[in-house]
């Protein structure tokens, strides 16, 4: 090594050599087909060697004694401020002289600013009634994601299935879970006595908290659990929330049995599904 008398020079040289070897290794790994772990490790070695080399260079070979400098006051002097104010007022006066025109100018700028807000409206559709309705309609049959229809007898007691309205598997707001329970255990709400043929109860699968799919069914406690924030709903009691942040029951879909024992909706949900919003009521 030429000259190697300065302390630290050997270490700096070693770090720089390691870095170079890392870079060459990286090129070899890349050419031979690439390997993510080796690529990352060699990049790390290459950057790290350079970094260590430079820091050692600064530590051993560059001036290390602290230097002291002055700070200037940040604020301007009264004279400078006065000069600035004078310059500004000179322009302001020239504008203010035309009172009527400057008011018109402000009006025109304001109107243009307002008009430029309107294109924002094009960013999305109007909420309209989208949030209040789903794709369910009287007689729409329950279809699984694979396209098969849900029939009475497909589910054992304790079984659960996710379903969409037939031909609308893309309707994310219409997803439901149908659970089969012992019909004697259901405590239907007034007016819902005939909504669960043979113990098949169907609820909107969209959590009333922030809309995650309520996918976990605890058979022993007859509760549906949302894996996102642990809101828990009592299947036997109209999917009333019994734990977690959700405040509202999962909306229930009225079911009936149509030809060939296929389950179908009596009609759409009677309330909006999913998370709450200002105009939900």
Closer to another protein by CB, 155 or 186: give it: 155
Stretch that binds another protein, among 4-12, 100-108, 152-160, 224-232 (CB under 8 A): 224-232
Which CB, 186 or 265, lies closer to another protein? 265
Q: What gap in Å lies between CA 180 and CA 186, rounded to an integer?
A: 10
Phi and psi (nearest 5°) for 119?
A: -60, -20
Site for another protein in 22-51 (CB under 8 A): 30, 33-34, 36-48, 50-51
140 forms part of the interface with another protein (CB under 8 A): no
* Cα 276 to Cα 131: distance, rounded to the nearest angstrom: 10
Is 69 a binding residue for another protein by CB under 8 A? The answer is yes
Cα–Cα distance for residue pair 210/171, rounded to 1 Å: 18
Q: Confirm or reject binding of residue 94 to another protein (CB under 8 A).
A: no
Name which position in 157, 187, 227, 270 contacts another protein (CB under 8 A): 227
| Number of residues located near another protein, criterion CB under 8 A | 77
Neighbours of 120 (CB within 10 A): 8
Q: How far is the CB of 166 from another protein (least distance, A)?
A: 15
| Secondary structure (3-state) at 170 | coil
Residue 14: in which H helix or E strand, if any?
helix 9-31
Within positions 154 to 173, which residues make up the interface with another protein, using CB under 8 A?
162, 164, 172-173
The answer to whether 229 contacts another protein (rule: CB under 8 A) is yes
Minimum CB–partner distance for residue 231 and another protein (Å): 8
User: Count of CB atoms within 10 A of residue 53's CB?
Assistant: 19
Pick one of 25, 159, 188, 245: the residue that binds another protein (CB under 8 A): 245
- The CB-of-125 to another protein minimum distance in angstroms stands at 5
Q: Which of 274, 271, 254 lies closest to 139, judged by CA?
A: 254
- 234 forms bridges with which residues in the sheet? 223, 240
Token pair of 45, please? 């070695």
**Phi and psi at residue 177, in whole multiples of 5°?**
-115, 130
Q: Which of 16, 131, 137, 256 lies at the binding interface for another protein (CB under 8 A)?
A: 131
Member of 1, 5, 70, 184 binding another protein (CB under 8 A): 70
Give the contact letters, 47-66, x = binds to another protein (CB under 8 A), - = no. xx-xxxxxx-xx---xxxxx
Kindly tell me which of 196 and 204 has the beta carbon lying closer to another protein: 204
Residue position matching structure tokens 């772990």: 37
Name the CA radius of gyration of the chain, rounded: 36
């Amino acid at each position: 090594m030429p000259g190697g008398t300065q302390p630290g020079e050997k270490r700096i040289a070693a770090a720089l050599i390691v870095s170079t070897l890392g870079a060459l290794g990286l090129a070899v790994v890349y050419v031979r087909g690439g390997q993510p772990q080796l690529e990352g490790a060699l990049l790390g070695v290459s950057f790290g060697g350079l970094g260590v080399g430079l820091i050692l260079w600064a530590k051993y070979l560059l001036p290390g004694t602290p230097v002291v400098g002055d700070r200037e006051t940040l604020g301007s002097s009264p004279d400078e401020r006065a000069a600035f104010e004078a310059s500004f007022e000179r322009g302001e006066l020239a504008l203010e002289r035309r009172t009527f025109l400057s008011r018109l100018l402000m009006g025109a700028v304001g109107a243009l600013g307002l008009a430029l807000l309107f294109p924002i409206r094009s960013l999305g559709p109007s909420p309209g009634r989208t949030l209040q309705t789903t794709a369910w309609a009287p007689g729409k049959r329950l279809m699984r994601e694979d396209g098969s229809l849900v029939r009475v007898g497909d589910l054992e007691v304790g079984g659960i299935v996710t379903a969409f309205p037939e031909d609308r598997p893309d309707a994310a707001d219409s997803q439901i879970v149908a659970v089969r329970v012992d019909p004697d255990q259901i405590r239907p709400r007034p007016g819902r006595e005939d909504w669960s043929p043979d113990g098949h109860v169907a609820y909107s699968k969209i959590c009333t908290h922030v809309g995650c799919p309520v996918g976990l069914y605890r058979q022993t406690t007859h509760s549906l659990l949302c894996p996102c924030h642990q809101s828990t709903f009592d299947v036997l009691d109209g999917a009333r929330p019994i734990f977690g942040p959700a405040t509202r029951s999962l909306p229930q879909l009225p079911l009936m049995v149509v030809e060939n024992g296929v389950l179908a909706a009596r009609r759409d949900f009677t309330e909006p599904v999913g998370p709450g919003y200002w105009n939900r009521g």
